[in-house]
């Protein structure tokens, strides 16, 4: 009896020992699988920054059953998979991968930043497929998770995503706020990847607002930051954006080498839609350059069409068909061009969630041009009328004045931040110099060292004062004309307005715009245009009174601040300026004169709410002068 029981106990013990041993091996295997997966993912993500094709091949080689991974690693797998699908413009597959990852993430016991990342990826796929509202919802969900975890990097990513979708839906005011908030955090974190991303999106926003030179600066900054972060594929995207700005400014010869550089790196991109876009832009550049090459352009547009086949990004086919029509129109293949535009119209009609304002403009303009060249004047007139009607409606619907105020405010803040950072760096350097003196043991050496340090410090302080003066000068003076810039004009204007309100004095503002300035640039070149602006600044400085302020507001616009000046006296100043410019500045021959249109606003206690309001009123009057025939003063 005892022996039998002993045998049973021993047998049960053996079974238990075997079970525990096997379980421990399984757990050990699970731990090994998950550790190996983590290392594997690190390799994929590292390669992804430089060569998407290799990253995709490596991920595709993963053999382990996904269900054997921990829940968090399963979520991570779908996050990486979705990201690579996006890089290769396979947005539908990316959407499925991101949705699978978020579904599995629901079983996690606590929130993880992977949920935020997957929400952003899912939002981007919806954005790319044309579902703007769905994109915004996903971006907001991801941002909410990031904020709950207080993860600054992913908070910044969320702001960048929202900023991008807002400018795509022409909500420029919200976009400006989101992207500048993102830029502030990116600068604090000093994260090159984030700086690259936010500068890239700010560049696109500014290009949408027709601020191409500022957009170019942002794209160049994004290129440098992406290179610094080792994200070479993203740097190539910034390079393409730089090329686009050159094309918008008709600098086609500068754009072509950049596009050729992108084509050289085609194997690394592994993205047919991006390559299709590059070849399309190459075609347009060859059509519109100084000596058009329509044959080469047609070869590029044909190549682009092969890459664009099956494109999933909702705007890609629209962009291609409109640009193809430009090439065909240049080749005088008008029927084919109109057919391409008809396809673009159908695509735009289906794509109702996005306004696609710029595509509509290009489409109507090109249709009008083709109808005119084929002597279908009634249809040409109709298209031109539609174009003008849409242009005015869009201008009315978008509060560009508010966007401009925001832009000016943020640019002023960025300039102030640079000054503070400079002061902080100088303070740190002074502290470092002082700390060095405490490490000297020999008294004689210490005295000599202190003397040297003091001399160096004196020199440094001298240079710092000189540097601050130079910085102050640069931050207040327009590089081209030498007169005060927009930022300084606003500062002085606010001060004068404040004094005017307190003392109930007169205060008038002149808004001056050079007539037909685009024609001057187009016909005589940008150097001549720059020369005209310099002459205007020089003559105005000779005419201005001691207390008056004359500066460049931007482009071909100037502002004159006239403190203690009634509207009648301001009119005399404006007329003197107008006649001086007309009589003194010549473009090329005696007949080619430079004229300006001037609007005047004056402080009125009952109507003038702010200095900004005075600028707006002067701007309105300036446009009235334009509409009444130019070369005149209105108030």
Q: How is the chain split into domains, by residue range?
A: 271-374, 402-476, 486-634
Lowest-pLDDT range of 30-34, 404-408, 498-502:
404-408
The answer to whether 271-374 and 486-634 have equal CATH topology is no
- Tokens 């106990």 belong to which residue? 9
pLDDT in tens, 354-377: 555 667 777 888 888 888 888 887
* Three-class secondary structure of residue 600 per DSSP: strand
Alpha carbons 139 and 561: distance in angstroms, whole number: 45
Tokens (6 digits) for 540: 């105005």
Q: What percent of the chain has pLDDT over 90?
A: 26
Which one has a higher pLDDT value, 450 or 232? 232
Q: Are 400 and 172 within 8 A, CB to CB?
A: yes
pLDDT in tens, 68-85: 788 888 888 888 888 878
Lowest-pLDDT range of 182-196, 242-256, 425-439:
425-439
- Residue among 358, 270, 285 nearest 327 (CA): 285
Which one has a higher pLDDT value, 5 or 440? 440
Given its phi and psi angles, is residue 235 left (phi above 0), alpha (psi -120 to 50 degrees) or beta? alpha
Q: Are 31 and 23 within 8 A, CB to CB?
A: no
- Tokens 């601020």 belong to which residue? 211
| pLDDT for the residue 635 | 87
Tokens (6 digits) for 320: 């291609």
| pLDDT for the residue 69 | 81
Which one has a higher pLDDT value, 467 or 247? 247
Residues in the chain: 635
Q: What is the mean pLDDT of residues 460-468?
A: 50
> For the chain, how many helices (H) and strands (E)?
26, 5
Q: H helices of 49-131, where?
A: 52-60, 71-87, 91-105, 113-128
User: Residue 272's pLDDT band (boundaries 50, 70, 90)?
Assistant: confident
* pLDDT over 60 at 519, yes or no: yes
| pLDDT for the residue 352 | 57
Alpha carbons 592 and 584: distance in angstroms, whole number: 11
User: Residue 468's pLDDT band (boundaries 50, 70, 90)?
Assistant: very low
User: Residue 12's pLDDT band (boundaries 50, 70, 90)?
Assistant: very low
- Sign, CA dihedral 193-199-203-206, equals positive
DSSP 109: S
pLDDT in tens, 22-65: 343 443 445 677 777 777 667 766 766 666 666 666 666 665 67
* pLDDT over 50 at 21, yes or no: no
Alpha carbons 508 and 547: distance in angstroms, whole number: 12
pLDDT in tens, 274-329: 888 899 999 999 998 989 999 999 999 999 888 888 777 778 888 888 899 989 98
Q: What is the mean pLDDT of residues 533-551?
A: 87
Tokens (6 digits) for 183: 């830029």
Which one has a higher pLDDT value, 257 or 587? 257
| pLDDT for the residue 120 | 93
Q: How far is CA 48 from the centre of its chain?
A: 23
Q: What percent of the chain has pLDDT over 70?
A: 75
- Quickly list DSSP for 432-455: HHHHHGGG--SHHHHHHHHHHHHH
Q: What is the mean pLDDT of residues 440-446?
A: 50
Alpha carbons 506 and 503: distance in angstroms, whole number: 9
Burial of 510 (0-12, 13-18, 19+ CB in 10 A): buried
Could you give the count of Cα atoms lying within 13 Å of 8 in the half-sphere of its Cβ? 5
Alpha carbons 369 and 318: distance in angstroms, whole number: 19
pLDDT in tens, 575-626: 999 998 888 888 775 567 889 999 999 988 777 678 888 888 898 898 899 8
CB atoms inside a 10 Å sphere around CB 279: 24
* pLDDT over 90 at 224, yes or no: yes
| pLDDT for the residue 591 | 64
- Tokens 């008056």 belong to which residue? 548
Alpha carbons 305 and 288: distance in angstroms, whole number: 19
At the topology level of CATH, where does 486-634 sit?
Alpha-Beta Plaits (3.30.70)
Q: What is the mean pLDDT of residues 335-344?
A: 89
Q: What is the mean pLDDT of residues 439-449?
A: 51
| pLDDT for the residue 395 | 52
Residue 597 CB contacts under 8 Å (≥ 6 apart), including other chains: 512, 513, 515, 622, 625, 626, 630, 631, 632, 633, 634
| pLDDT for the residue 604 | 81
Tell me, yes or no, if the pTM score tops 0.75: no
Burial of 13 (0-12, 13-18, 19+ CB in 10 A): exposed
Angle at 147 between CA 142 and CA 148, to 5 degrees: 100
φ and ψ of 204, to 5 deg = -65, -45
Lowest-pLDDT range of 11-20, 93-102, 159-168, 228-237:
11-20
Alpha carbons 29 and 22: distance in angstroms, whole number: 10
* pLDDT over 80 at 627, yes or no: yes
Alpha carbons 18 and 26: distance in angstroms, whole number: 12
Which one has a higher pLDDT value, 447 or 102? 102
Mean pLDDT of the chain: 79
User: Residue 259's pLDDT band (boundaries 50, 70, 90)?
Assistant: very high
At the topology level of CATH, where does 271-374 sit?
1.25.40
Tokens (6 digits) for 398: 């978008």
pLDDT in tens, 129-138: 888 899 999 9
Which one has a higher pLDDT value, 391 or 203? 203
């Amino acid at each position: 009896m005892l022996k039998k029981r002993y045998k049973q106990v021993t047998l049960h013990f053996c079974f238990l020992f075997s079970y525990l041993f096997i379980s421990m091996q399984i757990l050990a295997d699970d731990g090994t699988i998950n550790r190996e997966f983590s290392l594997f993912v690190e390799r994929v993500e590292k390669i992804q920054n430089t060569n998407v094709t290799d990253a995709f091949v490596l991920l595709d080689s993963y053999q382990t059953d996904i269900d054997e991974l921990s829940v968090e690693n399963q979520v991570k797998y779908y996050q990486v998979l979705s990201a690579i699908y996006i890089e290769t413009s396979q947005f539908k597959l990316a959407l499925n991968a991101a949705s699978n990852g978020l579904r599995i993430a629901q079983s996690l016991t606590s929130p993880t930043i992977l949920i935020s990342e997957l929400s952003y990826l899912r939002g981007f796929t919806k954005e790319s497929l044309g579902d703007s509202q769905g994109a915004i919802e996903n971006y907001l969900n991801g941002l909410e998770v990031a904020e709950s975890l207080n993860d600054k990097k992913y908070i910044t990513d969320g702001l960048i995503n929202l900023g991008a979708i807002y400018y795509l839906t022409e909500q420029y005011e919200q976009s400006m706020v989101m992207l500048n908030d993102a830029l502030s955090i990116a600068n604090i974190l000093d994260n090159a990847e984030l700086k690259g991303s936010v500068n890239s999106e700010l560049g696109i926003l500014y290009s949408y607002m027709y601020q191409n030179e500022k957009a170019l600066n942002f794209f160049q900054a994004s290129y440098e930051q992406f290179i610094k972060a080792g994200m070479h594929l993203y740097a190539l995207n910034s390079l393409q954006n730089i090329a686009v700005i050159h094309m918008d400014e008709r600098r086609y010869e500068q754009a072509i080498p950049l596009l050729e550089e992108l084509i050289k790196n085609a194997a690394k991109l592994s993205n047919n839609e991006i390559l299709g876009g590059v070849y399309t832009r190459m075609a347009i550049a060859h059509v519109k350059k100084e000596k058009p090459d329509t044959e080469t352009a047609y070869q590029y547009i044909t190549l682009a069409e092969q890459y664009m086949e099956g494109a999933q990004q909702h705007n890609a086919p629209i962009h291609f068909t409109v640009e193809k029509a430009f090439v065909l129109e240049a080749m005088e293949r008008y029927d084919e061009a109109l057919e391409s535009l008809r396809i673009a119209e159908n695509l735009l009609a289906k794509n109702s969630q996005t306004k696609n304002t710029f595509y509509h403009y290009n489409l109507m303009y090109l249709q009008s041009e083709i109808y005119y060249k084929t002597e279908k004047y009634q249809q040409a007139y109709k298209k031109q009328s539609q174009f003008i009607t849409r242009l005015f409606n869009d201008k009315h619907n978008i509060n560009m004045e508010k966007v401009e105020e925001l832009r000016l405010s943020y640019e002023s803040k960025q300039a102030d931040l640079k000054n503070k950072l400079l002061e902080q760096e100088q303070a740190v350097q002074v502290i470092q110099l002082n700390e060095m003196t405490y490490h000297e043991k020999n008294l004689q050496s210490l005295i000599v060292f202190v003397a040297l340090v003091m001399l160096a410090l004196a020199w440094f302080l001298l240079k710092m004062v000189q540097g601050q003066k130079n910085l102050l000068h640069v931050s207040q003076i327009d590089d081209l004309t030498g007169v005060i810039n927009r930022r300084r004009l606003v500062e002085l204007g606010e001060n004068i307005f404040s004094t005017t309100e307190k003392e109930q004095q007169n205060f008038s503002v002149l808004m001056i715009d050079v007539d037909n300035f685009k024609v001057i640039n187009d016909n005589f070149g940008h150097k001549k245009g720059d020369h005209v602006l310099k002459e205007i600044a020089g003559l105005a400085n000779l005419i201005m009174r001691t207390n008056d302020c004359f500066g460049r507001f931007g482009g071909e616009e100037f502002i004159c601040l006239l403190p203690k000046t009634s509207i009648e006296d301001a009119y005399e100043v404006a007329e003197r300026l107008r006649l001086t410019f007309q009589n003194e500045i010549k473009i090329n021959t005696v007949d080619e004169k430079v004229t300006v249109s001037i609007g005047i606003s004056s402080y009125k206690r009952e109507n003038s709410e702010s200095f900004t309001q005075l600028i707006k009123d002067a701007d309105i009057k300036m446009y009235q002068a334009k509409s009444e025939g130019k070369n005149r003063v209105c108030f």
